[in-house]
Structures are given as structure tokens and as C-alpha cells.
Structure 1
Amino acid sequence: MSQTASPPKWRTSASVILVTRDADKSEDYKLLMLKRSDNTAMMVNQTVFPGGLLDTAADESVAWLQYLEEFGVPQEALRRLVIIRDDRPVILAPQGTGCYDRFFKRSSIWSREITLRLTAVRECFEEVGLLLCRSRSQLDFGAVICVQDVPDLEAWQRRVHDKPSEFLNLCRELNVVPDLWALHEWSAWASPGFMRKGYETVFFMAFVDKQPKLLEEPSEVKETLWLTPKELLQLADLGEVWFLPPQVYELSRLMGIKEYQSLQDFAVQRSGLGTTMYLPVGYDCQGSMVFVLPGDDFYVPDSHLVNKIISFPGSEEEFRARSKHLHRYTYGPSIRNMELNIPPPNGHLKPLKFHQERQKL
């Protein structure tokens, strides 16, 4: 195994798995996914959840905390977003030191639970013109509020896209705050260490009662899709969309919940249980590329140091035979043979077996 002297640098990002009711189908909900524009996609028809890179100047600006305080958001409401656990992944660990009570006495926000939610809400607006926010009268932090009627939407979307710090000015103009409390911590993924341009991403889940209107940002988004997990996996099977492993994994485990309200209840309850970073470690099994995830017998303790694919002296079948605890998938050019025979970490859903689901589609 080759390792780097220091961990590879991943670019930090956040995504939103946006769920809306769909009373016309038995699954009862649809998800929003975006086909990336040809200029930004890794592959033709690459399809992702809305989201993008953390902008430290915009998303970590202490001006947000000052604005939230002026708006009337209680500090306790911000503290409720913070999960204090020793096993937090680096991406969600505090980016500084000090007491959690010092929200308004720092030069930048150091709680990633806040900054990455700001990233996710901002990127959702940049990419599809959708603003998740609350007015002063909605500070009871109850149901999700989705504001669609942004005056001069196209102009504002362009302004925020070109300069992320304009997002704060947009909220000031509309007299709203980003609905950070509508985003429920769902999962976290990092690119394998051998990738030249790697990402680490926190996925949040948010719920809207009605399917909102969207405005696609043309330089980033080719098409928007509102479909069920089953329909999205079927499109991937037909070659009409292309997913990276995190999208396939998340869609596969959503196959296990059919109802909007059941998913919402689960997401709200589970979000307080923390998150394990899924950083795949690759093994070359005589030409078959097998990637293992946390809990697998072949997962390594310092996965963030692995910067090359590990060579295994045997076939994929022999690799499996030497393992009792499995959490893995085979990849190339799409994910297959997903296996998990241990309880998922953090009280999460188990993805349904990929080949079994393909046969049902």
C-alpha cells in the first residue's frame, strides 16, 4: 500500500437531497436531481443532487451570525444544529477552538454544521433558483418554508452565482434567513484518495410539500429531474443518466422507504445520530475494481492516507471469500455488486441489493 506523507487535499462541498410530495405515485415522493451542463460534467449526462463547493469568504463570514442575531434568531436555535461527539468526521469537526457559546465573538464561523448548511442553501439557489428560507413570522422552526417569488430572480441568481457573498445581500433584501433547520444531516462522502481532483461532501436532506418551480442556471445545469429513486436508478440502467457511487448508494437505500412522511420522520430522527465519512478504498482484484467502505474487513484505519489503488493477489471472488464483514461495491464504469452484511453506521438505512432492485425495475 502506498501512502502519502500527508493527507490528500479534498475540496469541501455540500449537497441537498430535496424531497417533495408526489400523491400520484405509490412511492409518495420525488427527488430533485440535476443533469450537469456539458462544460461541468465529468461524463455525459452526469446527474447529481443540487450542491457545490464551500466558499469560505461567503459561507464562513461572521456577518451571517451578526445578521441572524439582528433578525431575531436565538443562539439556542443555532446550537441545536451542532452535534457534539468525539467521532465527528473531519469535514464536520469544529474549524477552530473555543466554547460553543462564542458564536458571535469570532472573526469567522467555525461550526461546520452552520457553514455547510449555508453552502447547501446558497448552491441550491445558484443552480435552480430555489430559496429555502424563513421570515420573521416563521421563526418557530416548524415546517419547511420554500420561497419561490424572488423579485428579479434571474438577476439575483446571476449575482449570487458570480459572487457568493451576494447571497447575504439577497436575504437582507427579502428580509428572510436561510432555513438551516430544514436541512437534516444525512451522510458524508469523500472521493478516493487517488483521484486528482477529489471532493468531500456532506449530504443534507430537506422536504417541501409541493414541487416548486425552478430556474436552471444554464452554465451549470442542463436539465432538472423530479423522479422517484426507482425511476432514477432505471434511467441509470438505460444509460440516460450517469451517477458516481455516492448517488447510486443513496438512491439504493432510499428504495427502502416508500412514503414521504415516513422518510421525513426517519431523516429528522436520524440526523442527530451523527455521520460516518464514507471514503472508498480501492482494491484491484485481477482487473475487477472493488471499493470497500467503513466496517468492511478490508477497510484500513487511515483511509485518508491511501493515495493509490491497492493490489490484491487474487480474484474478486477470492477477495470476498477472505471477508466476513462486507461493506463494498464493484465499480467500472458504474457501481455494481453492492454488498452490506453489517448494520449501517449511525442508525442509517441499508441500501437494497443493487442487482435485486435492477430485476424489479
Structure 2
Amino acid sequence: MSQPASPTKWRTSASVILVSRDDGNNKDYKVLMLKRSDATAIALNQTVFPGGLLDSGADESVAWLHYLEEFGVPQEALRRLVLIREDRPAILAPQGTGCYDRFFKRSRIWAREITLRLTAVRECFEEVGLLLCRSRSQLDFGAVTCAQAVPDLESWQRRVHNKPAEFLTLCRELNVVPDLWALHEWSAWASPGFIRKGHETVFFMAFVDKQPELLEEPSEVKETLWLTPVELLRLADLGNVWFMPPQVYELSRLMGIKAYQSLLEFAIKRSGLGTTMFLPIGYNCQGSMVFVLPGDDFYVPEPHLVHEIISFPGSEEEFRARSKHLHRYTYGPGVRNLELNIAPPNGHLKPLKFQAERQKL
């Protein structure tokens, strides 16, 4: 397998899977997804969780350290966000020298668990005008997030959208801090290596007691959707929305928990078990594109070094027959045949098959 001259450059980003109690049934829940605007979508009706790129000038500014201390956030509250494990993926590994304590000594060496949470909260405000922040009276660092009202919301949303560093200015003006503690680490995905300008994204999960009012940023968002995972997958099946593989995978495993409180408790417990980067490796099986994920027999030890699709001399069925441990999906133009016959990494949920679920409705 030859290596191309120019390797993939993954751009770091963060997303929020925002979960709200269902107004019609207090035990159930819905999740927030956004239809991208025609100018930003890579396909018609592309639908995503809120999120976007890390802005190093805004999200990694040392000014955040000063502000958090001025606000009265204890260092221990920040340290609780930092998960120290040997198996951290690069996107969540210690930055610089790897000394976590340097984060608390005015260094520009940041813990990514903190900067990526800042990215996720900022992008949520930019895209849908939702400010997930806490006032001083709310510094109990609870598991359910607080949505703050913003005077002159449209103007502030535009300011932050045009200049991400204005997010800190907004927090100072309102005397709040981003609610980093109610964002529970959920998963991490990277674009396949043959995509030259791919993304690596950490997904956090956040919970609200009721659906907040939203303000769609017109250049980025065409429509907001509050729906159950099954309803969203049904829309994709009908062609009304289009998902990339991470969205299909995450919605498929959310089908495994029906109740809001159960999902909240699971997310809190699971977030301490770490995250495995899902970087799909593509195999061309006589016209079928099969992507394998960690734990599959055909996954490779160093997936970040694979920058092209691998040819398999056989059919998709033959490819499957040569594998005992399966963690894969077929793609084109959407996700098909999502399979996982091993224990999910990091104590996670197993994705369920939507077709089987649909037959029960």
C-alpha cells in the first residue's frame, strides 16, 4: 500500500449532543440537531450536532485562566475535568510537555478537556444563540447545564460569530462562566485519512431540563430540529436529512436508552472511562466501500498513517467472512450494515439497527 505525498491534516473541533426532556413526556428526551445552510453544507440537508472548529486565539487564550480565577472557580473544579489515563487519544492528550499542572501556572499549555469544552460552548452560542453558562450563585458544578438569557442576543451572536474572542467579553459582561462541568465526554471521531482536510472532533453530551429558545445564525444554520434519535434516523431514511457516519453511529447507540434520567446517569458514569478515537479505515470490496473501526480484525495499529482506501480482492461478503471481530459499516451514499459484535470500547453503548427498531413502531 503506497503512501501519498501529502498526508491528511485534521482540524480540531468539538460538538455538543444536547439532550432535553421531552415536553410531552417528562421521562423521554429529544436531541438537538441543525440543518446546515446551503452555503456551508457538503450535501443537501446535511444535519449535524452543534459544534465547530477550535479557535486557538479565542479558546486557548490565557485570559480565560485569569477570568476563571477572578470569578472564583477553584483550581480543583478545573482539575476534575482533566482525565489522566495512559490511553488518551491525541486530541485529548496532554499538550506541550504533558505536565497538566502547567495549565494552572499561567501557561499556554492547555488541557484539551478544558479548551475543547470552551470550543463546544462557544460554537453552540454562535450557531443557535444558546449560552450554556453559570452565574456565581450557580457554581455548584451540577450535571445538568444552565441556559442563560442574553440581552441583545442577535447583536452578541453576530459579534461572537465574527470574532470568537468576543465570547470572553460576553461572559464578562453577563458575569457568567461557560458551563464546562455539565459537558460530559462522550466520543471522538476523525475523518478518514484520504480526506485531505479532515476533522477530528470530540463529542460532549449536555442535558437541559426543558428545550431552550434558539436563534439560528442564518449563514450557518437553515433549521433546528428537536427530535428523538429514532425520529431523526427515520428522517434520514426518508431522505429529508443527510448524516455523515458519526451522526448515524451516535444516534444509533442512543436508541439503547429511552429515558432522560437514565441517559444522564449513564453519561456521567461513562465519561470517566475515557474515549477511543474512531478513525475509519476504508476498504474497497469490489465496489462496496466498507469502513472498519477500532476492535475490528481489519483495523490497523496506526490508523493515522493510512491516507488512502485499501483494496480488498473480494466481495463485501467475503471480507466479512474473513473477520471474527466486527466493528464496521458500509457506506455509499449513506451508512448501511453497521455491525459491532464485540464489547463497545470505554464502557459505551452498542449501536442498534434502525431497521429492526423501525419495524416495532
TM-score range, shorter chain: over 0.9
Counterpart in 1 of 2:273? Answer: 273
Matched, 1:77 2:77: yes
Does the CA-based 8 Å contact 1:336-1:354 persist in structure 2? no
Which moves more between the two structures, 351-360 or 171-180? 351-360
Counterpart in 2 of 1:212? Answer: 212
Does the CA-based 8 Å contact 2:8-2:195 persist in structure 1? no
Deviations 1:252-301 (CA, angstroms, capped at 9, x unpaired): 00000000000000000000000000000000000000000000000011
Q: Residues 344 and 116 from structure 1, CA distance in 2 versus in 1: closer, same or farther, beyond 3 angstroms?
A: same
Q: Give how far 1:97 is off.
A: 1.5
Deviations 1:274-330 (CA, angstroms, capped at 9, x unpaired): 000000000000000000000000001111011111000000000000000000000
Counterpart in 2 of 1:313? Answer: 313
Q: Give how far 1:84 is off.
A: 0.6
- Distance in 1 separating the partners of 2:341 and 2:308: 26
- Distance in 1 separating the partners of 2:315 and 2:172: 59
Give the AA of the match of 1:79.
R
- Distance in 2 separating the partners of 1:76 and 1:140: 13
- Distance in 2 separating the partners of 1:300 and 1:321: 18
Matched, 1:137 2:137: yes
Give the AA of the match of 2:155.
A
Does the CA-based 8 Å contact 2:233-2:354 persist in structure 1? no
> After superposition, where does 1:130-279 map in structure 2 within 5 Å?
130-279=130-279
> After superposition, where does 1:307-346 map in structure 2 within 5 Å?
307-346=307-346
Q: Give how far 1:4 is off.
A: 4.9
Does the CA-based 8 Å contact 1:31-1:229 persist in structure 2? yes
- Distance in 2 separating the partners of 1:214 and 1:66: 30
Deviations 1:213-249 (CA, angstroms, capped at 9, x unpaired): 0000000000000000000000000000000000000
- SS of alignment partner, residue 359 of structure 2: helix
- SS of alignment partner, residue 203 of structure 1: strand
Does the CA-based 8 Å contact 1:109-1:115 persist in structure 2? no
Which moves more between the two structures, 25-34 or 195-204? 25-34
Q: Residues 38 and 27 from structure 1, CA distance in 2 versus in 1: closer, same or farther, beyond 3 angstroms?
A: farther
Does the CA-based 8 Å contact 1:66-1:104 persist in structure 2? no
Give the AA of the match of 2:174.
L
- Distance in 2 separating the partners of 1:345 and 1:143: 23
Q: Give how far 1:145 is off.
A: 3.9
Does the CA-based 8 Å contact 2:286-2:315 persist in structure 1? yes
- SS of alignment partner, residue 30 of structure 2: strand
Give the AA of the match of 2:307.
N
- Distance in 1 separating the partners of 2:286 and 2:257: 37
Q: Give how far 1:41 is off.
A: 0.1
Does the CA-based 8 Å contact 2:8-2:197 persist in structure 1? no
> After superposition, where does 1:16-31 map in structure 2 within 5 Å?
16-25=16-25, 28-31=28-31
- SS of alignment partner, residue 28 of structure 1: strand
Q: Residues 335 and 82 from structure 1, CA distance in 2 versus in 1: closer, same or farther, beyond 3 angstroms?
A: same
Q: What is the alpha-carbon root mean square deviation over aligned residues?
A: 1.4
Give me the TM-score of the superposition, normalised by structure 1.
0.97
- SS of alignment partner, residue 24 of structure 2: coil
- SS of alignment partner, residue 351 of structure 1: coil
Counterpart in 2 of 1:295? Answer: 295
Counterpart in 2 of 1:68? Answer: 68
Give me the TM-score of the superposition, normalised by structure 2.
0.97
- SS of alignment partner, residue 100 of structure 2: coil
Q: Give how far 1:107 is off.
A: 3.9
Q: Give how far 1:124 is off.
A: 0.1
Does the CA-based 8 Å contact 1:6-1:305 persist in structure 2? no
Give the AA of the match of 1:116.
L
- Distance in 2 separating the partners of 1:176 and 1:149: 11
Give the aligned length: 361
Does the CA-based 8 Å contact 1:51-1:123 persist in structure 2? yes
Does the CA-based 8 Å contact 2:230-2:354 persist in structure 1? no
Q: Residues 115 and 271 from structure 1, CA distance in 2 versus in 1: closer, same or farther, beyond 3 angstroms?
A: same
Gaps of 5+ in 2: none
Q: Give how far 1:108 is off.
A: 1.8
Does the CA-based 8 Å contact 2:145-2:207 persist in structure 1? no
Does the CA-based 8 Å contact 1:61-1:107 persist in structure 2? no
> After superposition, where does 1:2-151 map in structure 2 within 5 Å?
2-4=2-4, 8-25=8-25, 28-97=28-97, 99-151=99-151
Which moves more between the two structures, 144-153 or 215-224? 144-153
- Distance in 2 separating the partners of 1:258 and 1:145: 20
